Amino acid sequence: MSTSQLEVMLKPGLEDSEGKKVKKKVKDYFGINIEDIRTIDAKTIDSENLDMENLELAREKIFTNSVTQISSFDSLAKSLDWDYMIWVGYRPGVMDPAGQTGMEAIEDLTGKSFGEGGGVYTSRYYLLRGKNLGSGDAEKIANEMLFNDIIQRCKVLSREDWKEKGFEIPSPKVILDYKPEVVTLPVKSDEELLKLSKERKMAINPRDIPTITKYFKKAEVREERAKYGLGDPTDIELEYIAQARSDHCNHNTFNGKFYYKDMSTGEETVVENLFEEFIKKPTLELAKEKDWVVSVLWDNAGIAKFDENNNYTISMETHNSPTTMEEYGGAITGNVGEYRDKLGAGLGSKIFMGLYGFCTAFRNYAGKLKPKRHPRRISDGEIEGIRDGANKSGVPTPFGVTVFHEGWLGKVNLYAGSVGIMPAQVKGKPTHEKHINDGDLCLMVGGRVGKDGIHGVTAASEEYSEHTPAGHVQIGFPYGQKKMEGLILEARDEGLLNYITDNGGGGLSSSVGESCRYCGKVGGVEIDLEKVPLKYLGMHPWEIWISESQERMTLAVSPDKIDRFMELAKKHDVEATVIGTYRDNGRIHINYEGKPIMHIGLDLMKKDFPQWEFEAEWTSPEMRGLTEPVLSEPKDYNSLLKDMLARPNVCSKEWIARQFDHEVQGGSVIKPMVGVERDVHSDAAVSKPVLESEKGFGVTQTINPWYSEIDTYWMTANVIDESVRKLVSVGGDLEHIGGIDNFCWPNIQYDPETNPDGKYKAAQLVRSNRALKKYCKEYKIPLLSGKDSMYIDGNLEGEYGENQKVSGPPVMHFTANTVIPDASKCVTMDAKMPGDLVYVLGETKDELGGSEYYDMFGHIGINVPKVDVEKSLPMYRALQKAIEEELVASAHAVSRGGLGVHLAEVAFAGNYGMDVNLGKLIGSLDRDDKILFSESSGRFIVTVAPEYRKKFEKIMGDYAITPVGYVTKESRFRVRGMHGDELINQDIGELKHAYKKTFGDLV
């Protein structure tokens, strides 16, 4: 095997923007001054089939831009001036996207194949120059910024060390030093299975164990198995069952039984099944009422009607654990994995919009606890992950939420959502239905299988040897998936697909195991596992079966259409392999090299595995000792408002929005940043998924960790109400609002030692679900999709070497979407014209519990905002009508930070001044600070041209009796208090500066 190292760098005279960026970050992160950083990209080319001439051709034609770069098969660092060298490369087996495309490019150029075991591996040198730079600094920069031990390898060398010893890039080639085998695992007793489960890190729930042991002991099962030469369960069988029964796949918590007790009222109730009662039942009821709901609760995404000819598909996922461990990889795989849910929804949909949510501790965290990765690093890395995943997939990402809370120090929340569009029918068949026929071929399409993600996060604690692949966290390969999308959409349009689903958690085990249920009457499949294409030889069959290697789909294609499908696969340059045949015999059967290794009745999974049970004890806010704070009215409102606008959870996060392409596909209508300078966050995003159509698709997201500290019931109610208002404020249609619930909760299983407040957390979950049901029902929001992630906890080392458990705040992240009949009637939140009247719709109450204002002073309070749909909804309807009649110049939903923040935003987004008189507001609240910063639900700020005043007020009736102020040409933001005294008189530019400065120097 011959290996060559190619090094490429910018010509020495040119500025290295990557190096410059790192230099700035080093200064920001650590306060270390570096004179210069230059980067050198290394490509390790490993192939027996290439000669020097081929390599030279590749160097010149592919890897070197003669205008800007120099390159060499010799070291470039030799001739440069530097003090420390940091080399970073991937561990064996980690997806190396640039390596993949480099290999593709060389093969294409030379016409030669790399051959078995060949490859291109990319890595990078950072050359640091600085007079006062010490080896400790270089180590710190490497460890805390440039490299992650989980997926990468790193070497730090001083110039002297390098001169003396040199440095050779270690090969990241995967070499498995064992032969594939299948092991039979006699399970004589429950105890034995439990022990085995622990040893093999299968994580079978102890409650499930008796059902499994019993199954393999049954006479008829043993008899049938004997026919195939099978006796006791094999490793692949037990691994399959463990995967299929995991909480991740089964949502055992949400399907659990809850014994709920309200300690303040004594109320005791039993919730037989959380999911059934609070999510499934109400959604099915609403689906009957809303004829635009097409398909919910079973597929990879919810499907609903966009117009007569098209349906949209939607879902939102979390990727919390992987992102906490490796932020870039966790975010990018979460993101492109979520896209696959759209590719695998119905018979396949095209992704037209991506969404994100970043929840971490504060970027400037400087507390005593020592998270493995600083929140700032996680924040930067997850943004890059979503950026690369989304931009390289050609998916516009126009909306997201970014929230900071110290509770996320232990484990972060990473939300990734997307929306797809597909023709409602293809070749006369509805695309939201999928059926497999006995005899259909089972295909695996896309990436190859490696030891990726086997046993998920438990593998993280395993020790590495030099050539063992890093399994658990992966890097996404959006380019590969984009090619696959092209194939799938074309195959769908030709009617070649009978079924499609993605390979996510559980890999083939899950995708084949699930899809085979849709074959005929009882389902079934027969797989020849050796046919699965592998990244490297030597994997055990059970590993192939449960590997979570990315960018793969599982498909059912009928035999008469397979040739055409394979033609298309060739055209799109996507690997597609028939790995078996679907059967209607109720069995999932696997052969490996002709020998049966798994044979399990599909009914096993339907059997009565015991339901999980939880005790839930609610203690009211009063019982927990919460009160309103003792706080007098402030005197300096000017500074207060500026400081409020600059707070991390209020201020601009434009630097994030601008990194995400939000205009690709050409349908962008309302962008993430709006206003005359395009620098204030929009309430919602609107896009046109069908360019020929007038219709718009609107979406927004809401999350609120603060109200949960008082009552998760009201947290949930407010999150839903805020979502609805944000949609209405851009022109959303109240008759068509879909929702997605994403619960991210700390562990709710009570344990006196490790989770002493588990019962309270379980009660918080029940209360949140109660509110979810009630408010979705009242706003008529069917839940098109939803997910839960139940272990938002982390154990962090403290100042004295102690370990502290940090539980994340319980949150229900809500995504709400709407279909707008005419996108040209949409509205943005910025003030449009001087002289326009300013209205505040909805009542401002003494509801500052959990508010940003109280938080500013370190208080929680107790008066959490309540939601009253009966009162609000008619007003929302009236506003929708006023917007439809084009009477509204701007509309903004009032949320975090209250009227003070939102009135200012409306003004400075338009670069206009505003005069507001709080005395004209409705409501009986009698303190100016409370009026300005209360977070009461149900409110909007609307500006209206004077000529439309009458029409507008007529439509709004009692909801908008009189304007509270007007937009001014002079750029001052003026607020008079309820007694007429001037509270705020500020230059708009200064307010905007405060809003933008906090993260203003981030790019």
Binding to another protein in span 830-849, by CB under 8 A:
830, 832-833
* Residue 775 or 995 with smaller CB distance to another protein: 995
626: CB partners within 8 A, 6+ apart? 710, 849, 860, 861, 862
77: CB partners within 8 A, 6+ apart? 7, 40, 85, 125, 127, 162
* In the complex, minimum distance from the CB of residue 95 to another protein, in angstroms, rounded to a whole number: 12
Kindly tell me which residue out of 677, 733, 757, 884 binds another protein, with binding defined by CB under 8 A. 677
At position 63, the amino acid (one-letter code) is F
Q: Which of residues 933-962 bind another protein (CB under 8 A)?
A: 945, 947
Q: Which of residues 685-704 bind another protein (CB under 8 A)?
A: 688, 691-692
Q: Are 403 and 705 in contact (CB under 8 A)?
A: yes
* Residue 386 or 790 with smaller CB distance to another protein: 386
* Residue 311 or 687 with smaller CB distance to another protein: 687
Distance (Å) of CA 867 to CA 777, 831, 870, 900: 13, 27, 9, 20
Segment (H or E) for 853: helix 852-856
Q: Is 660 in the site for another protein (CB under 8 A)?
A: yes
Cα(478)–Cα(484) distance, integer angstroms: 10
Phi-psi region of 348 (alpha: psi -120 to 50; beta: other; left: phi over 0): left
* In the complex, minimum distance from the CB of residue 982 to another protein, in angstroms, rounded to a whole number: 29
Q: Which of residues 359-418 bind another protein (CB under 8 A)?
A: 387, 391-394
* Residue 49 or 66 with smaller CB distance to another protein: 66
Q: Are 444 and 510 in contact (CB under 8 A)?
A: no
Which of 211, 287, 214 shows the shortest CA–CA distance to 250? 211
Q: Which of residues 481-500 bind another protein (CB under 8 A)?
A: 482-483, 486
Q: Are strands 737-744 and 783-789 parallel, antiparallel or unpaired?
A: parallel
**Among the residue ranges 101-109, 203-211, 428-436, 499-507, the one whose residues contact another protein (CB under 8 A):** 101-109
Which of 36, 39, 31, 32 shows the shortest CA–CA distance to 7? 39
Q: Is 826 in the site for another protein (CB under 8 A)?
A: yes
* In the complex, minimum distance from the CB of residue 419 to another protein, in angstroms, rounded to a whole number: 16
* Residue 363 or 540 with smaller CB distance to another protein: 363
* Residue 579 or 657 with smaller CB distance to another protein: 657
Kindly tell me which residue out of 15, 168, 753, 981 binds another protein, with binding defined by CB under 8 A. 15
Cα(268)–Cα(270) distance, integer angstroms: 7
- Give the distance, in angstroms, between the CA of residue 963 and the centroid of all CA atoms in the same chain: 41
Kindly tell me which residue out of 44, 498, 668, 723 binds another protein, with binding defined by CB under 8 A. 668
138: CB partners within 8 A, 6+ apart? 84, 86, 128, 156, 158
* Residue 107 or 929 with smaller CB distance to another protein: 107
Cα(229)–Cα(223) distance, integer angstroms: 10
* Residue 927 or 997 with smaller CB distance to another protein: 997
Q: Is 659 in the site for another protein (CB under 8 A)?
A: yes
**Among the residue ranges 87-95, 190-198, 632-640, 829-837, the one whose residues contact another protein (CB under 8 A):** 829-837
Kindly tell me which residue out of 108, 272, 622, 799 binds another protein, with binding defined by CB under 8 A. 108
Helix (H, G, I), strand (E, B) or coil at 884: helix
Q: Is 886 in the site for another protein (CB under 8 A)?
A: yes
* Residue 62 or 221 with smaller CB distance to another protein: 62
Q: Which of residues 893-922 bind another protein (CB under 8 A)?
A: 910
Output the 3-class SS for 331-343. Answer: HHHHHHHHHHHHH
Which of 317, 315, 325 shows the shortest CA–CA distance to 412? 325
Site map for another protein, 193-232, x if CB under 8 A? Answer: ----------------------------------------
> What's the sign of the alpha-carbon dihedral 134, 138, 143, 144?
positive
Output the 3-class SS for 942-979. Answer: EEECHHHHHHHHHHHHHHCCCCCEEEECCCEEEEECCC
- How many residues touch another protein under the rule CB under 8 A: the total is 77
Kindly tell me which residue out of 54, 97, 430, 433 binds another protein, with binding defined by CB under 8 A. 97
Site map for another protein, 111-150, x if CB under 8 A? Answer: -----------x----------------------------
Q: Is 666 in the site for another protein (CB under 8 A)?
A: yes
Q: Is 665 in the site for another protein (CB under 8 A)?
A: yes
Q: Is 101 in the site for another protein (CB under 8 A)?
A: yes
* In the complex, minimum distance from the CB of residue 969 to another protein, in angstroms, rounded to a whole number: 15
Q: Is 669 in the site for another protein (CB under 8 A)?
A: yes
Kindly tell me which residue out of 824, 957, 970, 979 binds another protein, with binding defined by CB under 8 A. 824
Q: Is 658 in the site for another protein (CB under 8 A)?
A: yes
Cα(222)–Cα(423) distance, integer angstroms: 47
Q: Is 27 in the site for another protein (CB under 8 A)?
A: no
**Could you identify the residue written with the tokens 């609307």?**
942
**Among the residue ranges 175-183, 406-414, 567-575, 737-745, the one whose residues contact another protein (CB under 8 A):** 567-575
Q: CB 241: neighbour CB atoms within 10 A?
A: 24
Q: Is 479 in the site for another protein (CB under 8 A)?
A: yes
* In the complex, minimum distance from the CB of residue 653 to another protein, in angstroms, rounded to a whole number: 14
Cα(329)–Cα(385) distance, integer angstroms: 6
**Among the residue ranges 134-142, 169-177, 474-482, 752-760, the one whose residues contact another protein (CB under 8 A):** 474-482
Exposure string for 447-464, b = 16+ CB within 10 A, e = fewer:
bbbbbbbbbbeebbeeee
* In the complex, minimum distance from the CB of residue 1000 to another protein, in angstroms, rounded to a whole number: 13
